[in-house]
Amino acid sequence: MEPAHGKLGVMIPGMGAVATTFVAGVEAIRRGHARPIGSLTQMGTIRLGKRTAGRSPKISQFVPLAGLNDLVFTGWDIYEDNMYAAARKAGVLEKELLDKVNKKSSGAKRLVMIWCGSTEIFLQPKAVHQSVKAFESGLLKNDEAIAPSMIYAYAALSEGVPFANGAPNLTVDIPAMHELARRNRAPICGKDYKTGQTLLKTILAPGFKSRMLGLNGWFSTNILGNRDGEVLDDPESFKTKEESKLSVLEQILQPKLYPELYRNFYHKVRINYYPPRGDNKEGWDNIDIFGWLGYPMQIKVDFLCRDSILAAPLVLDLVLFLDLAKRSSELQGIGIQEWLSFYFKSPMTAPGLYPEHDLFIQLMKLKNTLRFLRGEELITHLGLEYYD
């Protein structure tokens, strides 16, 4: 694995609340004004060997990740504001903190691109998406099935630059991009950052299933007032997000394997644009479960969260892990980085393979990948060796 020498350039299409919170946050952290809470790469540890060995280094010390001081940033948006002005308008971070981190950066040796733009209208794969040749022909013809995010991804992958998709858009989840990623050894991953309501679903649903508790229905509604909420007020854009959010429970609960518990559960998701709330999203869930002898029970969850505060550390981790994958001979040529499913609502997988949504299995997959890259024993949690 190549070391992380030089500056890492982070290219960000979409300079809204998430992107500016990420960039300003990194600046604040490396100047000592804040801590990287929520970032696995900065605060997480990884167990090596047996529990009795006491080896649990920080992930940042275990694998050769780029340091925060080596990150430099650039981005694009349909609005003309620079990043500082965009961060002020987003209203996530206080003006006093932003004023401390207002600067310029340059001199990148390596690049990563990460999509932080808004959700695009719903698209299904078409003929133009099936090969690089068909896609390039479609570009010349200005094919309406080629979304703006796909053009950014095509440009990045053509240059061998890794690409992460933080929205539920189709973007790199098409055969043409898979082909281009493998050809140019450019890792890809996505899609849709797993932050508020869906994060809780991937924590709670595995718990219900592990205890064989049944589910009758799960109703979810959100209110959100930032630019993402405004975009999702459009029915076609919401359909893209809805597809991403609805698939989670089906894959975790596996109703075909457990029909008595999950065959007929009702799942509804709504997102409502409410400008006064700004970036402070509220996700409300009503969960109807049943237990022993079929007796019904209810769970109510009211998650008053900050959307960009939850998303920003995911952006940081994805940038650093994609750069690691690009420098790894074992990972750079395979295209889709399924081991990064931990960060997404709708994880990309090899064609025909269902995604793993259970947050805890995803974390095990991520950490075992890091152990594999460093030649360490994979952790199965069997534990029988302690009782021989």
Q: Are residues 47 and 63 in the same domain?
A: yes
The answer to whether residue 381 is domain-embedded is no
Give the DSSP letter of residue 291: -
Return the beta strands (E) in the chain as ranges. Answer: 7-13, 71-76, 108-115, 163-165, 188-190, 214-224, 266-273, 282-290, 296-304
User: What is the C-alpha separation between 344 and 357, in angstroms, rounded?
Assistant: 9
The answer to whether residue 214 is domain-embedded is yes
- Find out whether 49 and 376 touch, Cβ atoms under 8 Å: yes
Q: Are residues 212 and 184 in the same domain?
A: no
Final residue of a structural domain among 286, 304, 322: 304
Q: Are residues 167 and 237 in the same domain?
A: no
Q: Are residues 86 and 187 in the same domain?
A: yes
Q: Are residues 173 and 316 in the same domain?
A: yes
- Pairing between β-strand 214-224 and β-strand 282-290 as defined by DSSP bridges: antiparallel
- When pLDDT is averaged across residues 73-97 and rounded to a whole number, the result is 68
Q: Are residues 365 and 266 in the same domain?
A: no
Final residue of a structural domain among 281, 304, 327: 304
- In terms of pLDDT, which residue wins out, 204 or 79? 204
Q: Are residues 247 and 202 in the same domain?
A: yes
Chain centroid offset of residue 292 CA: 36
Q: Are residues 291 and 317 in the same domain?
A: no
- Find out whether 216 and 290 touch, Cβ atoms under 8 Å: yes
- Find out whether 244 and 191 touch, Cβ atoms under 8 Å: yes
Q: Are residues 312 and 300 in the same domain?
A: no
- Find out whether 316 and 42 touch, Cβ atoms under 8 Å: yes
Closest C-alpha among 338, 345, 339, 332 to residue 367? 339
Q: Supply the CATH number for residue 220's domain.
A: 3.30.360.10
Which residues is 219 bridged to in the sheet? 268, 286
- Pairing between β-strand 214-224 and β-strand 7-13 as defined by DSSP bridges: unpaired
Distances from the Cα of 70 to the Cαs of 52, 67, 194, 342, 347, in angstroms? 36, 5, 26, 25, 28
Which pLDDT belongs to residue 236?
67
Q: Are residues 122 and 229 in the same domain?
A: no
What's the token pair of residue 68? 């925060």
Final residue of a structural domain among 280, 304, 328: 304
Q: Are residues 11 and 134 in the same domain?
A: yes
Report the interhelical angle of 17-30 vs 307-326 (nearest 10°): 70
Which pLDDT belongs to residue 48?
97
The answer to whether residue 347 is domain-embedded is yes
The answer to whether residue 342 is domain-embedded is yes
pLDDT of 388 above 90: no
Distances from the Cα of 20 to the Cαs of 104, 182, 210, 316, in angstroms? 14, 31, 39, 12
- Find out whether 282 and 290 touch, Cβ atoms under 8 Å: no
Indicate the residue type of 278: G
The answer to whether residue 28 is domain-embedded is yes
The answer to whether residue 380 is domain-embedded is no
Which pLDDT belongs to residue 87?
60
pLDDT of 101 above 60: no
3-class secondary structure, 44: coil
Q: What is the residue range of 217's domain?
A: 197-304
Indicate the residue type of 152: Y
3-class secondary structure, 212: coil
**pTM surpassing 0.95?**
no
- In terms of pLDDT, which residue wins out, 137 or 231? 137
3-class secondary structure, 9: strand
The answer to whether residue 115 is domain-embedded is yes
User: What is the C-alpha separation between 30 and 45, in angstroms, rounded?
Assistant: 20
Please tell me whether the peptide bond between 191 and the residue prior to it is cis, using omega within 30 degrees of 0.
yes
Q: Are residues 206 and 140 in the same domain?
A: no
Which pLDDT belongs to residue 220?
95
Structure-derived torsion over alpha carbons of residues 37, 41, 45, 48, reported in degrees to the nearest 10: 170
Indicate the residue type of 28: A
pLDDT of 105 above 60: no
Confidence of residue 84 (pLDDT cuts 50, 70, 90): low
Q: Which of 6-10, 115-119, 339-343 has the lowest mean pLDDT?
A: 115-119
Q: How many domains does the chain have?
A: 2
